[in-house]
Structure 1
Amino acid sequence: MDRFDAMQAFVRVVESGSFTKAADTLHVSKTTVTQLVQQLEARLRVKLLHRTTRRVQVTADGAAYYDRAVRLLADLDDAETSLSSASAAPRGRLRVDVPSPLARLILVPALPQFHAQYPDIQLDMGVSDRMVDLIGDNVDCVVRGGEIQDQSLIARRVGDLQLGVYAAPGYLERAGMPAHPKDLEDTHHRVVGFLWSRSGRTFPYAMRRGAEDVQVQGRYVLAVDDGNAYQAAGLAGMGILWLPHYIAQPHLGTGELVPLFQDWALDTMPLYVAYPPNRHVSAKARVFIDWVAALLAQHAPLVGPGGGLPRP
């Protein structure tokens, strides 16, 4: 038994949930995949998978082995791509996690260019605003807005999001046009709340005009933990939004959103790529991070080391 082939076959079965699908991705027969997994179980003397006629389910021992196997396979791939001959053409599987609006509006539309330049990189992109355990979830790097609170991670600042305050015309017809940010604390007005993933709570926004400095949180009837849902709630008239310009801009020309408090300044929100300090930055991860930084230089250029909204 080739231990590498058996390990790879097992990982593909777990991830695809099927021996047939695993065989297709490995370009071998289903019988070969089945035999490799059986040989691996015999060698380890544990049952890794529960098999039924309808599905394949990983056992507790299998789940623990899967986590280790994924890391070992990634380390092996990194070792191969670190060679000078391989570094010129990064390849292999790269697991990343990015915020949902950033993926939808900026990263995914630009991925054809990335793939054309690096055709041998297989990208597994998680799209979420949740906290990610980079080690436990076997993620190579994440893109996140706000200051990185986990000081154990290595973080590279790749952009700064300019923020504004917006509302749908239908909302303003019902609630009226607020004259001052503090009006959002009144009973007449509502905001859409954003639940920060670390705390599950909403937080106030800092706004400045001349010598006046206010913290605005507002009241909400709806709070969400996903950027796309947050935007959709505002467009539906559920309340006032704080949005990055790149998200709001398409809706200003159509009249779906109206800018508010344009004479007030808001802190920028920094964007970071973060990755574990004990993980070798492979060639494929390095080119992805550089690509993200170059892309965001067009959409969210760095404005310097100034303040940003805290990441709760």
Structure 2
Amino acid sequence: MIDKLRAMAIFSRVVELGTFRAAAGDLGMAPSRVSEIVSALERDLGVTLLYRTTRQLSLTHEGRVLHTRTQDMLAAAEDGLDAISNAGAAPQGELRVTAPAFVTQTGLMADFARFAATYPGIRMLFDFSDTPRDLIRDGFDVGIRAGWLQDSDFMTRNIGYADRLLVAGAEYVAAMGQPAHPSELENWDWIRFSIRPDQTTLTNGDGQSVTVTGKSHLAVNTADALYEFAARGLGVTTIPENLARRGFERGDLVHVLPGWSLRSLGFHAVWPDQSRRETLTVLFVRFLAGQTG
């Protein structure tokens, strides 16, 4: 029974990471050995758990059922380990975190680093992607979301904010002329962040707000790409303040309409009500909330 439970755990890791090779690297095993263990589990159960092709793995119906049950089993085991570790000197375990790629250009990275240094017994696995991840399906314990959440089926907590600035390449601004009012930006080329609205609202010190759409034939999915295209004179865009300041220092970018501001992005931690690693998740979220306000 112990060997079968171990095989189930290895099978579940293969499903989470998508390939035998990735699971093998994570587990410190040879890919061939991981494949052998999963094949032996299939023979013992008398069913096929995974469809194998040269490019990817996919679950059979029986594989999905076993994976779900195995996740429940592992969650119960990890809860027990978390409870024991909390009673000891320091928390231990693994925490899987997903966050937008542009977070790497914000102060949250310092908070992540401080958490990792404060709790060396916790193995941190970070996924930085501007493609939203499904926490349940993709196996993440907590996600960082940017923007302003509406209704959510998850537990949520605000952990801070990120300021944004309106920028363009120096040559583009020189050619267009520094605008005096946001309405002038309707004739500018805009580099859009593909998962954000096409409208941009700016507010001045008197509280006056103006929403600009402008024209756009270029959309990207990372803040780094926004920076690079703006620096190359393709138009105006909004990027995190930390990234913008770097562009100002290098002379790549110019601050457009510095007397007008953009609404800050809120950062929120979201996690399932019944997290697989509830104790570690709550510890992480509370740490971030304390660090960032």
Normalised TM-score (structure 1): 0.78
Q: Do residues 17 (structure 1) and 16 (structure 2) align?
A: no
Residues of 2 paired with 1:24 and 1:185: CA distance?
51
Name 1:195's counterpart in structure 2.
194
Name 1:306's counterpart in structure 2.
none
Q: SS at the partner of 1:96?
A: strand
* Contact preservation (8 Å) 1:207, 1:214: yes
Alignment of 1:1-312 (within 5 A): 1-2=1-2, 3-14=4-15, 15=17, 17-18=19-20, 22=23, 25-26=26-27, 33=34, 36-50=37-51, 57-61=57-61, 62-63=63-64, 65-83=66-84, 85=86, 88-104=89-105, 106-107=107-108, 113-186=114-187, 189-196=188-195, 201-210=197-206, 212-279=208-275, 282-295=278-291, 297=292, 302=293
Equivalent pairs: percent with the same residue? Answer: 29
Cα 1:67–1:257 change in 2 (3 A) is farther
Which shows bigger deviation, 219-228 or 98-107?
A: 98-107
Alpha-carbon offset, residue 113 of structure 1: 4.5
Alpha-carbon offset, residue 87 of structure 1: 6.1
* Contact preservation (8 Å) 2:99, 2:126: yes
| Structure 2 portions without partners, runs of 5+ | none
Cα 1:207–1:24 change in 2 (3 A) is closer
C-alpha deviations, 1:174-200, integer Å up to 9, x for none? 3222221111112xx112112227xxx
Which shows bigger deviation, 72-81 or 30-39?
A: 30-39
* Contact preservation (8 Å) 1:95, 1:141: yes
Alpha-carbon offset, residue 271 of structure 1: 0.9
Alpha-carbon offset, residue 31 of structure 1: 7.7
Alpha-carbon offset, residue 157 of structure 1: 0.7
Residues of 1 paired with 2:26 and 2:162: CA distance?
39
The amino acid of 2:20's aligned partner reads S
* Contact preservation (8 Å) 1:17, 1:55: no
Cα 1:96–1:230 change in 2 (3 A) is same
The amino acid of 2:73's aligned partner reads L
**Length, aligned pairs only:** 290
Cα RMSD (Å) of the superposition?
A: 3.1
Q: SS at the partner of 1:83?
A: helix
Q: SS at the partner of 1:287?
A: helix
Normalised TM-score (structure 2): 0.83
Cα 1:106–1:283 change in 2 (3 A) is same
| Structure 1 portions without partners, runs of 5+ | 303-312
Alpha-carbon offset, residue 255 of structure 1: 1.7
Cα 1:87–1:240 change in 2 (3 A) is farther
Q: SS at the partner of 1:202?
A: coil
